């Protein structure tokens, strides 16, 4: 077996968490760089209408990515609990089932998104001057959904086995190709949003192919051969039972963001571009919390599988502390120098003004997600994805949507007011998570 596969149930908790989370953080950083590079290059060579198109198209694709990430998180959890319990046969069967199921799901989702792109963009109130470019972006990205599923499934498999380094190498290679393709297609050939989409889909394909070739040449636990791809019914049931709640939660969260986007889109291209650009910074600011969330999910799963709930809980508290320390600088930046964030993307003066107002309130969430994301990853790792789904859906639908609408109406469409919706939702979620932690129902393995 590849040497990087490791047991996360032993050793110093802070050291184990830091070593495992750092590659996770760097991989997430590189993934966020995908979207930022697209937005930056598009902004350098196109007007606000195309920038808004890429922003809206990216948010629509984020629903797909969230759906995929949720399902693959189910794989991480089941694989980690089996591996933590020393059950290698069950681990291999879970990997086989996961990869086969996701290949089928990817093909179905590609067809659905390609056909439904226009209606979805209409529901989002996409500005007329951005509609055609947004349509090109979404449909081209839809052709790369198979690669999205493939990379995320491979990364989930490896992280469940305690290997957070290999996914970093795969996504780093893809990022390099993405930058080169962006500069060639968007900058050189002036293909606008379509060029950005082609660059993204192509680079994701590179990442998946490199991962398969690399792992097949190593002494890895699973061999990528035709005969090894099959569905084991009991493993499929567990994967879906654990993964679907996470997937629904992540998807509905992104849908709630899209509804907020629809409210913002009614304010015009400037507001849409401002929030789109600010959103790229938000993604970077939340990377530490997201990385520690993913890390604690794998660590908690292995420890729960090994019958060590107390170590899992101590790892949760360690992840919150480390995540919070990483989030503070981003919060300070957004509060003190918000205009500098928009200037990185060479935004127009009107866009800078609108984005500054939005960042000052939305950035409160940078601190709150240090708690919310780590709790979420912990409960997911424990297999309590049903609770996470109910809590997440309630917080993402019942709080931010009505609050954003009320504030947009009562405060004349103020982006500063709309920025408060996200931190309010996270605060509600964190309170529920603290209560559930104290109940102790998370201590029993799900496998």
pLDDT digit string, tens, across residues 81-127: 888 778 888 888 888 998 898 888 888 989 988 888 888 888 777 87
Q: Other CB atoms closer than 10 Å to residue 89's CB: what's the count?
A: 8
Give 8-12's long-range contacts (Cβ < 8 A, gap of 24+): 8/80, 8/84, 8/162, 8/298, 8/299, 8/302, 8/303, 9/84, 9/302, 9/303, 9/306, 9/308, 9/311
Average pLDDT, integer, range 26-41: 75
Q: What is the pLDDT of residue 378?
A: 93
Answer yes or no: is pLDDT of 2 > 50: no
Answer yes or no: is pLDDT of 247 > 50: yes
Lowest mean pLDDT among 200-209, 230-239, 246-255: 246-255
Average pLDDT, integer, range 376-390: 87
| Cα-to-chain-centroid distance, residue 35 | 12
Residue 370 to residue 286: CA distance in whole angstroms: 8
Answer yes or no: is pLDDT of 435 > 90: yes
Q: Contact 135/197 with Cβ under 8 angstroms? A: no
Q: What is the mean pLDDT of the chain?
A: 83
Which run of H or E residues covers position 355? helix 349-362
Q: How confident is the model at residue 412 (pLDDT cuts 50, 70, 90)?
A: low
Answer yes or no: is pLDDT of 220 > 60: yes
Q: What is the 3-state secondary structure (H, E, C) of 179-220?
A: HHHHHHHHHHCCCHHHHHHHHHHHHHHHHHHHHHHHHHCCCC
Q: Contact 26/18 with Cβ under 8 angstroms? A: no
Q: What is the pLDDT of residue 425?
A: 83
Residue 63 to residue 296: CA distance in whole angstroms: 23
Answer yes or no: is pLDDT of 1 > 50: no
């Amino acid at each position: 077996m590849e040497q990087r596969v490791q047991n996360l149930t032993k050793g110093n908790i802070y050291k184990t968490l830091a070593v495992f989370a750092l590659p996770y953080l760097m991989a997430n950083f590189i993934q966020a760089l995908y979207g930022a590079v697209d937005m930056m290059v598009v902004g350098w060579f196109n007007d606000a209408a195309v920038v808004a198109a890429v922003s809206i198209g990216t948010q629509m694709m984020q629903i797909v990515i969230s759906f995929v990430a949720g399902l693959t998180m189910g794989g991480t959890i089941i694989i980690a609990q089996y591996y933590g319990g020393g059950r290698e046969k069950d681990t291999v069967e879970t990997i086989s089932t996961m990869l086969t199921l996701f290949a089928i799901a990817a093909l179905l989702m590609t067809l659905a998104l390609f056909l439904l792109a226009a209606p979805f963009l209409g529901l989002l109130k996409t500005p007329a001057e951005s509609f055609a470019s947004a349509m090109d972006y979404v449909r081209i990205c839809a052709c790369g959904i198979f690669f999205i599923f493939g990379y995320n499934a491979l990364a989930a498999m490896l992280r469940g086995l305690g290997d957070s380094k290999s996914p970093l190498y795969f996504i780093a290679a893809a990022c390099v190709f993405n930058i080169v393709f962006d500069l060639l297609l968007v900058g050189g050939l002036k293909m606008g949003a379509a060029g950005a989409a082609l660059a993204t889909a192509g680079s994701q394909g590179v990442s998946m192919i490199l991962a398969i070739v690399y792992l097949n040449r190593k002494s890895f636990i699973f061999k990528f051969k035709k005969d090894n791809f099959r569905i084991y019914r009991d493993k499929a049931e567990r994967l879906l039972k654990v993964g679907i709640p996470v997937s629904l939660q992540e998807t509905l969260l992104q849908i709630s963001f899209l509804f907020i986007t629809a409210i913002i889109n009614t304010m015009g291209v400037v507001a849409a571009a401002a929030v789109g650009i600010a959103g790229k910074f938000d993604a970077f600011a939340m990377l530490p919390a997201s990385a520690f969330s993913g890390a604690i999910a794998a660590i908690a799963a292995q420890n729960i599988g090994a019958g060590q709930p107390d170590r899992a809980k101590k790892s949760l508290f360690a992840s919150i502390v480390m995540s919070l320390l990483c989030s503070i600088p981003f919060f300070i930046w957004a509060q003190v120098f918000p205009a500098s964030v928009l200037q990185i993307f060479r935004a127009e003066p009107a866009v800078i003004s609108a984005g500054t107002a939005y960042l000052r309130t939305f950035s409160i969430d940078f601190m709150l997600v240090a708690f919310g994301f780590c709790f979420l990853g912990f409960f997911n790792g424990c297999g309590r994805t049903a609770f996470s789904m109910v809590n997440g859906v309630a917080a993402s639908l019942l709080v931010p949507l009505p609050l954003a609408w009320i504030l947009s109406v009562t405060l004349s469409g103020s982006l500063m007011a709309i920025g408060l919706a996200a931190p309010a939702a996270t605060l509600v979620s964190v309170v529920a998570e603290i209560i559930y932690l104290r109940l102790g129902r998370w201590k029993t393995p799900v496998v």
